Amino acid sequence: MLLEAQFGPDALAPIETPRIASNLTAAMTSQDTKALKSSDSESDSDDMSESEADIRELQDNELERLHKLGIPVPGIEIKVDKMVAQIWLEDLEVECSNKVFGDRVRVVVEKAVESVASLWL
């Protein structure tokens, strides 16, 4: 509600696909590269579809894990003009390429956490 009050309801949208840890995707990419070098018989489209299937499986597993934690969507995206910030709900991390906008979103998230923290004690 605080995000809606600060940025407007039209600026908020749920993020449907979870982020995958960069080390997992990097490991998958290196495995895919090794597989590509070792097997010349498979076509590029087959390799891409297998890679995409692996990534999709990782995303499905991550989404299931988040649902078990009670997190309905992986994150919230906030768009104001050309600025975009992503808030990941599991750890409340804010990602934004615009430092000023990212700091503003971070402050709103911190204030929201402070206001509800006493309810959990």
Among candidates 22, 16, 4, 12, which has minimal Cα distance to 85? Answer: 12
In the chain the beta strands, taken as DSSP E runs, fall at 12-15, 75-80, 83-88, 93-96
At 55-114, the pLDDT tens digits run: 888 888 888 888 888 888 899 999 999 999 999 988 899 999 999 999 999 999 999 888
Q: Among residues of the chain, what percentage have pLDDT more than 70? A: 74
Domain ranges of the chain: 1-16+73-121, 18-70
- Interacting residues of 108 by C-beta distance below 8 A, sequence separation 6+: 2, 3, 6, 7
At 41-59, the pLDDT tens digits run: 455 555 557 688 888 888 8
**What is the pLDDT confidence band of residue 33, given thresholds at 50, 70 and 90?**
very low
| Confidence (pLDDT) at 121 | 60
